[in-house]
Amino acid sequence: MSNEINLDNPIFAFYINIDNMSRMSADQHLAEFSRLVTYDNITSWIIPTQNGSETRVECVYSGKDVKSDNDRELVNIIKEINDRIEILGQSSNFEDFKINIRDWRINKIVDIFNEKNEQEK
């Protein structure tokens, strides 16, 4: 893993609320979240927060030479990341988070299947 920031890619800051979590639970939550938001084409900064701070994501740098063709892809990445952050915020522990992610993925597959069926009609 490189310590250099790739300024060709957008940089996202993920503020993850870890209130009411033990150190071990927070470490597990952050490690799983980090695994879920690791992409080759973005840089992710994961910042644990406390004291009622909201869990959120911000694009702190849009990347070098961002063109309008990339905007749709960037919007889709932000939406997917926000969906995962929302699921993380609704989970009371790591096991609950895994169940919620599984359900979210199943729902995504069903939605894609239904969308394809509608297009074929």
Taking the whole predicted model, whether its pTM rises above 0.85 is answered as: no
Number of domains in the chain: 1
What does the pLDDT read at residue 27? Answer: 92
SS3 content of the chain, % helix, strand, coil (to 5): 55, 15, 30
Residue 4 lies in a domain: no
What does the pLDDT read at residue 65? Answer: 65
Those residues whose C-beta lies under 8 Å from the C-beta of residue 84, and which sit 6 or more positions away, are 33, 36, 37, 101, 104
Residue 29 lies in a domain: yes
Percent of the chain whose pLDDT exceeds 90: 11
What does the pLDDT read at residue 87? Answer: 82
Residues 60, 10: Cα–Cα separation, whole Å: 8
Residue 48 lies in a domain: yes
Residue 5 lies in a domain: no
Residue 39 has pLDDT above 50, yes or no: yes
Residue 1 lies in a domain: no
Average pLDDT across the chain, whole number: 82
- Band (28; pLDDT cuts 50, 70, 90): very high
Domain around 72: 11-120
Residue 64 lies in a domain: yes
Where does residue 102 rank: exposed (0-12), middle (13-18), buried (19+ CB within 10 A)?
Answer: exposed
Where does residue 94 rank: exposed (0-12), middle (13-18), buried (19+ CB within 10 A)?
Answer: middle
What does the pLDDT read at residue 113? Answer: 82
- Band (85; pLDDT cuts 50, 70, 90): confident
Mean pLDDT of 4-29: 87
Residue 6 lies in a domain: no
Q: Is 62 helix (H, G, I), strand (E, B) or coil?
A: coil
Residue 3 lies in a domain: no
Residues 56, 116: Cα–Cα separation, whole Å: 32
